[in-house]
């Protein structure tokens, strides 16, 4: 997910990765601490700058590094709770806007989701309160006390900021989990995403008034994140219980990797196909959907294809299939049967159609029958 990141270490098997954008944010943070927070703190405590043992710039670097350790601990809080609940953690990445823990825990109950979301801010809260308390101890070196005070304040701010109920921030995840305990998951997602978007717009307004570029960046990130996650969750929930064969396109063109996209499009039109499988004599390279073939008529099929093809079985649950496609770099999955014969392709367009049909089929007032798998399959390639 995050290319341009290298693994620093592993904690309980969880890789902690540093993203290249840290090279930008760490020096900025160190500079901001040594030229803003530290002088302000000394002034308010009526302590001359000369009383410090270390140069302010070095203290700034140390506090900036410590803050990212604090962010890693915050993410570890989420990750360790997820592990305890039986979830899977792919890794933690420290980057420009803080940290991201990639957690796979589809089966979490609302209660578990709420705990998982709360664990991160709780760690930040404890770090903040603990550091602020330590900074009040008289016997400690002044440099350490100043660093602890600034570090503690930043962690408190981090905890409070993350608890704002603006999805996809932690507070928004808690809100969604609390709603999901009472409402249908789809409705809970819609409401929390809407609250997230409204709060993000308020954030944009504040950021423009102040003006504060960092707040602007975070608000835009929250706004886009709320919408992207709402779309992904709606699709996943709308597809649960359906099988790959119920959404797959059976008419699929087969093209060589060297073909131009305009030629692939002609091929698809000629065969009445909604997708094309790119393959040569040795192997299958992947799937091109309608959107892929619009990416420049002269480009070659293998130029547009990225990553490995996604293989699914015709009886796989579509909510799983959509997750696998979203995690891949391809825009569709190749569907095989028990004999490992390719029987079709599932692209985003096919998934959207299945969600729409499901919505219409489950319209209120009608008892939705359990989704059934068609007994007989019709013609294949």
Q: Which residues bind Zn ion (CB under 5 A)?
A: 120, 170
Specify whether the backbone of 296 is left (phi greater than 0), alpha (psi in -120 to 50) or beta: left
Which lies closer to Zn ion via its Cβ, residue 110 or residue 120? 120
Which lies closer to Zn ion via its Cβ, residue 120 or residue 238? 120
Instruction: Give least dist CB 236 to Zn ion, A.
Output: 21
The Cα 99–Cα 69 span in angstroms is 10
Q: Which residue is associated with the tokens 């709360």?
A: 118
Which lies closer to Zn ion via its Cβ, residue 102 or residue 170? 170
The Cα 82–Cα 88 span in angstroms is 7
Residue count of the chain, please give it.
381
Q: SS3 sequence, 158-222?
A: HHHHHCCCCCCCHHHHHHHHHHHCCCCHHHHHHHHHHHHHHHHHHHHHHHHHCCCHHHHHHHHHH
Instruction: Give least dist CB 97 to Zn ion, A.
Output: 11
Which lies closer to Zn ion via its Cβ, residue 170 or residue 316? 170
Tokens of 336: 């095989």
Q: Which residue is associated with the tokens 């091109």?
A: 288
Tokens of 201: 């717009």
Instruction: Give least dist CB 169 to Zn ion, A.
Output: 7
Specify whether the backbone of 177 is left (phi greater than 0), alpha (psi in -120 to 50) or beta: alpha
Which lies closer to Zn ion via its Cβ, residue 120 or residue 289? 120
Which lies closer to Zn ion via its Cβ, residue 120 or residue 152? 120
How many CB atoms within 10 Å of residue 11? 15
Instruction: Give least dist CB 181 to Zn ion, A.
Output: 20
Nearest residue to Zn ion on Cβ basis: 120
Q: What are the strands of the beta sheet with 342-347, ordered from one edge?
A: 310-313, 332-336, 342-347
Which lies closer to Zn ion via its Cβ, residue 92 or residue 277? 92
Instruction: Give least dist CB 120 to Zn ion, A.
Output: 3
Which lies closer to Zn ion via its Cβ, residue 163 or residue 261? 163
Instruction: Give least dist CB 125 to Zn ion, A.
Output: 11
Instruction: Give least dist CB 351 to Zn ion, A.
Output: 29
Helix (H) or strand (E) holding 100: strand 98-104
Q: Which residue is associated with the tokens 């009472």?
A: 182
Instruction: Give least dist CB 214 to Zn ion, A.
Output: 17
- 222, burial (CB in 10 Å: exposed 0-12, middle 13-18, buried 19+): buried
Which lies closer to Zn ion via its Cβ, residue 75 or residue 230? 75
Instruction: Give least dist CB 122 to Zn ion, A.
Output: 10
The Cα 209–Cα 131 span in angstroms is 32
């Amino acid at each position: 997910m995050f290319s341009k990141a290298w693994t620093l270490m592993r904690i309980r098997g969880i890789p902690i990765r540093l993203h290249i954008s840290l090279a930008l944010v760490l020096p900025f943070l160190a500079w901001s601490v040594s030229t803003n927070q530290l002088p302000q703190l000394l002034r308010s405590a009526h302590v001359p700058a000369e009383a410090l043992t270390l140069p302010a710039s070095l203290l700034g670097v140390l506090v900036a590094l410590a803050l990212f350790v604090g962010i890693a601990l915050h993410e570890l809080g989420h990750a360790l709770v997820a592990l305890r609940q039986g979830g899977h953690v792919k890794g933690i990445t420290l980057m420009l806007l803080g940290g991201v823990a990639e957690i796979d825990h589809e089966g979490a109950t609302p209660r578990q989701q709420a705990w998982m979301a709360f664990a991160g801010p709780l760690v930040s809260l404890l770090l903040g309160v603990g550091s602020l308390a330590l900074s009040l101890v008289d016997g400690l070196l002044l440099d350490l006390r100043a660093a602890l005070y600034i570090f503690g304040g930043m962690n408190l701010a981090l905890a409070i900021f993350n608890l704002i109920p603006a999805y996809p921030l932690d507070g928004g995840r808690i809100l969604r989990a609390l709603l999901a305990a009472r409402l249908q998951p789809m409705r809970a997602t819609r409401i929390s995403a809407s609250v997230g978007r409204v709060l993000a717009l308020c954030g944009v307004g504040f950021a423009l008034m102040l003006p504060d570029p960092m707040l602007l960046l975070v608000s835009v990130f929250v706004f886009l994140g709320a919408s992207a996650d709402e779309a992904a969750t709606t699709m996943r929930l709308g597809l649960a219980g359906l099988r790959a064969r119920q959404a797959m396109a059976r008419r699929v063109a087969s093209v060589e990797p060297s073909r131009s996209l305009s030629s692939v499009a002609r091929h698809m039109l000629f065969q009445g196909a909604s997708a094309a499988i790119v393959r040569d004599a040795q192997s299958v390279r992947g799937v091109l959907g309608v959107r892929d073939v619009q990416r420049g008529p002269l480009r070659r099929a293998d130029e547009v294809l990225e990553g490995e093809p996604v293989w699914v079985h015709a009886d796989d649950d579509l909510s799983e299939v959509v997750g696998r496609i979203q995690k891949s770099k391809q825009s569709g999955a190749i569907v095989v049967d028990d004999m490992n014969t390719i029987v079709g392709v599932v692209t985003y367009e096919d998934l959207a159609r299945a969600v729409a049909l499901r919505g219409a089929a489950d319209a209120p007032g009608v008892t939705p029958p359990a989704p059934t798998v068609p007994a007989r399959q019709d013609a294949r390639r």
